[in-house]
Amino acid sequence: MKHAEIRFAQEKDLAELVVLCEKHAHFERAEYSTDDKESMLKNSLFGIDPSFQCLVVEHAGAIVGYCSFMKQFSTWTCSYYLYMDCLFLLEEARSHGIGESIMKRIIKEAQSMGCKFIQWQTPSFNLRGINFYNRIGGKSISKERYFLSV
């Protein structure tokens, strides 16, 4: 898949981004509702106080992947880090070096934000992703992830 462009998401990408988020949730065997997601993403990405940033992968005029991230602070290291919330590529966009290109871009973004490291997670059944993350030098720390609705 040559000529894929990695760029920051724009408002015109929101409808396609919602579709990718839904496909990502299905890949991770999670529930997902598209209800009002486009407007919520618009506010969170492009509002007065954006809460995160998002890169998209565009190929042949279509968005085939995305990576969302935000700057966080670690009390353990007393330093900032970049938390990569989501990294997802459509099946046809995988195994073309795009994941590595995204990670190189995320490293540059982390450095520009003054972050000392990058943190992310993936489901234990995502063996292809785990192999990729191990290959690029990622280190796994096992923890249980909890959710609490408020």
Work out the pLDDT band at 67, boundaries 50, 70, 90. very high
pLDDT at position 148 is 65
Looking from the CA of 71 toward its CB, the CA atoms found within 13 Å total 11
How many Cβ atoms from other residues are within 10 Å of residue 131's Cβ? 10
What value does the mean pLDDT of the chain take? Answer: 92
pLDDT at position 147 is 80
Domains identified in the chain and CATH numbers: 5-135 (3.40.630.30)
pLDDT at position 150 is 86
Per-residue pLDDT reduced to its tens digit, 73-87: 999 999 999 999 999
pLDDT at position 87 is 96
Per-residue pLDDT reduced to its tens digit, 85-144: 999 999 999 999 999 999 999 999 999 999 999 999 998 898 889 888 989 889 888 877
- The secondary structure element, H or E, covering residue 107 is helix 98-112
